[in-house]
Amino acid sequence: MIGNLLKGLFGGENKAEKPAKTSSHPAVSYESFDIIPEPQQVSGQWQLRGRIEKDIDGERKSHLFIRADTLPTEEEAVNHMVRKAKMMIDQQGNRVFD
């Protein structure tokens, strides 16, 4: 345990975390935004991660969405991420890119 902590502090490899993969989950269209789920496996759980994107004035805007929430399955993380992203869009609209 202490060895893992020291490796994490000093840049050693942490096998508990896998790098984010390219999303294999389809984008969800919502209110002219695209929600792209990209869950990340961390310590045997799935962390909420993905992007919210939209074309504005001919330019593709993107907001990386990462939450501390973890769930036991990848599918649960995808569903929860989409739900939270929809709430963020409803609350902030285009300001999500500010």
First to last CA, the chain: 40
pLDDT in tens, 36-95: 999 999 999 999 999 999 999 999 999 998 999 999 999 999 999 999 999 999 999 999
* Domain definitions of the chain by residue range: 16-97
Fold of 16-97: Double Stranded RNA Binding Domain (3.30.160)
**Measuring CA to CA, which residue among 27, 23, 72, 78 is closest to residue 53?**
27
16 has pLDDT over 90? no
Residue with tokens 């990462």: 66
**Measuring CA to CA, which residue among 32, 76, 36, 68 is closest to residue 52?**
36
Q: What is the pTM of this model?
A: 0.74
> For residue 17, what is the DSSP state?
B
